[in-house]
Amino acid sequence: MSALSTRIVISLGGSLLVPDTIDTDFVKAFKKLIVSEVKAGKQFILITGGGKTARRYIEAAGNVSRITDDDKDWLGIHATRMNAHFIRTVFRAHAHPRINTNPHDLEDFYGAKEPILVAGGWRPGHSTDFDAVLLGKYLGAKKIINLSNIDYVYDRDPRQFSEAKPFKNMSWKEFRKLVGDDWDPGMNAPFDPIAARLAQEENMEVIILNGQNLVNLSHSLSGKPFVGTVIKD
């Protein structure tokens, strides 16, 4: 377990992997960066979101039948698992051969020698952000890098409000006041409210970065100044 505690948890937003169709240019660049970091001695736990694949299935099912929130969550979960298998395949030369789909069952990960571990979604009621926090909790990681398609956490949607205020640093109390306490399948919060509650309880630090700027991600991994929001108490 001590060997795993040195790993960096990265929550890889589905909006980066599948903004519409699979973004192979992004995946190639992301792989190049992570492999270079692996060669420098770093180890990673990568957990994938569902992206447009999840939203398309949820929308399509809702157009055909009346579906429950659990139905929506399970569709999203399986989309995250498909993306996880995709990422594990892309990193197959460096990744553990199995993906994790239950952060409470990490038997395959304990003692893993591969520098990259990959995980998908677990169960309804939250997003893979929550699974990332659980992985960090059980494996001793106190910092999670959450890659999405925004530069910062803002006080309102910057795509709709030009005067939206960015936050470079926030407390968990401030962040949770912004996003609320309830999870809704398909919601587009910077970090899942359920995950935020657990991260606060576990005294974790979460960094929100725009994953499209991989030079910026490299800076954050190297301890250099970076653009993004740091959430911690």
Check whether 72 has a pLDDT greater than 80: yes
Burial classification of residue 170, based on how many CB atoms lie within 10 Å of its CB (0-12 exposed, 13-18 middle, 19 or more buried) = buried
Report the amino acid identity of residue 17. Answer: L
Q: Cα angle vertex 130, ends 126, 133, to 5°? A: 170
pLDDT at 126: 84
Q: Cα angle vertex 117, ends 114, 119, to 5°? A: 160
Contacts of 177 (CB under 8 A, 6+ apart): none
Rg, Å, the chain Cα set? 17
Q: Which residue has the higher pLDDT, 65 or 110?
A: 65
CATH classification of 4-231, choosing from 3.40.1160.10, 3.40.50.1970, 2.60.40.10, 2.40.30.60? 3.40.1160.10
pLDDT at 223: 92
Q: How confident is the model at residue 132 (pLDDT cuts 50, 70, 90)?
A: very high
Q: Are strands 229-231 and 205-210 parallel, antiparallel or unpaired?
A: antiparallel
pTM of this prediction exceeds 0.85: yes
pLDDT at 158: 86
Q: What is the pLDDT averaged over residues 158-171?
A: 92
Report the amino acid identity of residue 109. Answer: F
